[in-house]
Structure 1
């Protein structure tokens, strides 16, 4: 079936544009945004929208962390023929200027006490990240591409009747676009893969926005610490200036004892000549993006899952009441401040520190999916759980 996009010379395979190159049910195409104030970082908004062509579904969510409140608006609908339609009920994304300016709108609704009309304006060129690929037995579990941008926000946000004026001088964030194959929707029969067991997911994704540049860091490791994908890239606002590789990144995480809650992090970049750059991260506000949004904890609402022609729901939790096991199996998007030490120079910035330590990982002493950090010397100085801010 044809769609309006077929009138443009953008085809990549010998099919109409609505058909992707693989029939894998897990193919997806997604937007991600976050938005926060730099002066008083007590609000952290995350928005996502995804299309799943081989499942016939498009869904979206907005999740806001404010104080002890975890507020979710989520919606799902049947994916039509027009892939340029990026509206799911009350939530829509408008590309005002490709790779530069996008508008994100959530209309008010009785199911949730949240609405916004905000526009993202990029401060750096879109930066393509390394290909993310992972296989279990013969099945490809990850085969994705993604680009990122940092920028400023303009517009308005309303939560529980309180209005926030979104001023680009004080509101920042980052966005990404990713597409390819990754686990979505209902769980599939594992077959022989069940004998191998579930793959761990140790993941760090940091997007650090400084005044003069952005730093992007990616580290995914298997149980032994072997890298599946990594990146350490400095992106300059000037498109004529090449992105700068910062060296091999290494991580030191601090965990709250008896949990897997990360309370602090240091990342070092090791250049071939021996120079070491250091970034210390202060985690300011945790947004539990895996709870209520479709990333996999709730069996009745997962990305790409068929909900009906159009379904809109709202959820609300008190953060301090979120169960420890839910936090253990959920990636956490932390609003963070960063201090970069580079020789005699120091830069400070803000941004995203996304982290997940799910399953075994030798470096931090995790031998299963359920054990937690111990209160030994490595964690004795762990800070108070930042979920209770």
Structure 2
């Protein structure tokens, strides 16, 4: 299928842009965003959009956590004759290439969530190390990811409340990924459910006024990662930004007394770099959190990323995060807002994390799922 994008430069194969080169059904492109107030108050926006060209599907979600309630909107459409238009029902993404700004608009809908917000970058985008994994000679994942830190402006409405966002008061982050993405199947309404054992992982976006760190680490043995991608961005007095690549990360996590799941109370990271001194980052877990099953990560209610739900389909719900049955379905995977301190700076960010049974540390949370 030809699209207007085929008039532009950038083809990588003899196929039109709407046809990825390898034809694999798990080829995915994804956008993801979070926004939270700098003062750490109990509200958090999560939003994302996924594109599955070899399934003919695009889906999207938006969610707002307010205190201990999470409000979710999910939607899916068939690509049809508009495969490269980044909209799904009332949710639309607009990208200004020149300024680097990303605008997210969710028109009024039955979920009660609406917004018109714009992400404004404050550090350059950085590419993580390639995520590549084979199992028995079959490539399960070959994924590129780009991350970026920024500020937000605009407004959000949910649960009858409205928030005004300014770059001085709302910080956040985004990522952009593409390639073969291994499916995550953790939905008990769509068995079989994947089981995981013997590992620790965290993907953390840590932001300060003059610096920022993007960290992704996966370990089967403490201190011996089988995947590590870590980049520090640092702005000097002239405004110039320099980058350092992390080479080693050690972690010490103290877990909250949460009877319903894995929740960081506080933690300390020590990061060593290829150049210059190591850096210690101290983290305090704040009460606010968005569980990503609200956006179909791992699937929810028999619906997973990339499923064909017809020409158009949407759903919405409200979760009580203190309800044991809800938390059992939500599992662990979440964006957890953290208060940060390092080198005399304070900051804020998010962390996704999990510990699987069999990993030799953090036995106190082994009874909960890692994803």
CA change 1:237–1:55 in 2 (3 A) is: farther
Residues 265-296 of structure 1: CA distance to partner in whole angstroms, max 9, x if unpaired? 21111357995421111111342433332111
2:200 corresponds, among 199, 202, 210, to: 202
Comparing 32-41 with 117-126, greater Cα deviation is found at: 32-41
* TM-score when normalising by structure 1: 0.84
Residues 126-176 of structure 1: CA distance to partner in whole angstroms, max 9, x if unpaired? 111111112222222221111111111111111122111111111110011
Question: C-alpha displacement at 1:200, in angstroms?
Answer: 5.9
Alpha-carbon distance in 1 for matches of 2:276, 2:122: 31
Question: C-alpha displacement at 1:105, in angstroms?
Answer: 0.7
Aligned to 1:243, the other structure's residue is in SS state strand
RMSD in angstroms over aligned alpha carbons?
2.7
Aligned to 1:10, the other structure's residue is in SS state coil
Does the aligned pair in 1 maintain the 2:77–2:88 contact within 8 Å? yes
Q: How does 1:335-350 map to 2 (within 5 A)?
A: 335-341=337-343, 346-350=344-348
Alpha-carbon distance in 1 for matches of 2:215, 2:99: 20
Aligned to 1:236, the other structure's residue is in SS state strand
- Which 4+ residue blocks in structure 1 deviate beyond 4 angstroms? 196-201, 223-226, 237-241, 271-275
Matched residue, 1:214? 212
Matched residue, 1:150? 149
Alpha-carbon distance in 1 for matches of 2:277, 2:170: 33
* TM-score when normalising by structure 2: 0.88
Q: How does 1:1-389 map to 2 (within 5 A)?
A: 1-97=1-97, 100-110=100-110, 112-184=111-183, 198=196, 202-222=200-220, 226-236=224-234, 241-256=241-256, 259-271=261-273, 275-323=277-325, 324-326=327-329, 329-341=331-343, 346-365=344-363, 371=367
Residues 32-68 of structure 1: CA distance to partner in whole angstroms, max 9, x if unpaired? 0101111242111000000011111100001211111
CA change 1:121–1:269 in 2 (3 A) is: same
Alpha-carbon distance in 2 for matches of 1:45, 1:219: 24
Structure 1's unaligned 5+ residue stretches are 188-193, 374-389
Question: C-alpha displacement at 1:237, in angstroms?
Answer: 5.0
CA change 1:279–1:308 in 2 (3 A) is: same
Structure 2's unaligned 5+ residue stretches are 187-191
Alpha-carbon distance in 2 for matches of 1:293, 1:358: 22
Alpha-carbon distance in 1 for matches of 2:182, 2:357: 17
Paired residue total: 358
Higher strand share: 2
Comparing 316-325 with 169-178, greater Cα deviation is found at: 316-325
Question: C-alpha displacement at 1:82, in angstroms?
Answer: 3.9
Alpha-carbon distance in 2 for matches of 1:234, 1:5: 34
Does the aligned pair in 1 maintain the 2:338–2:348 contact within 8 Å? yes
Question: C-alpha displacement at 1:348, in angstroms?
Answer: 1.0
Matched residue, 2:189? none
Does the aligned pair in 1 maintain the 2:60–2:91 contact within 8 Å? yes
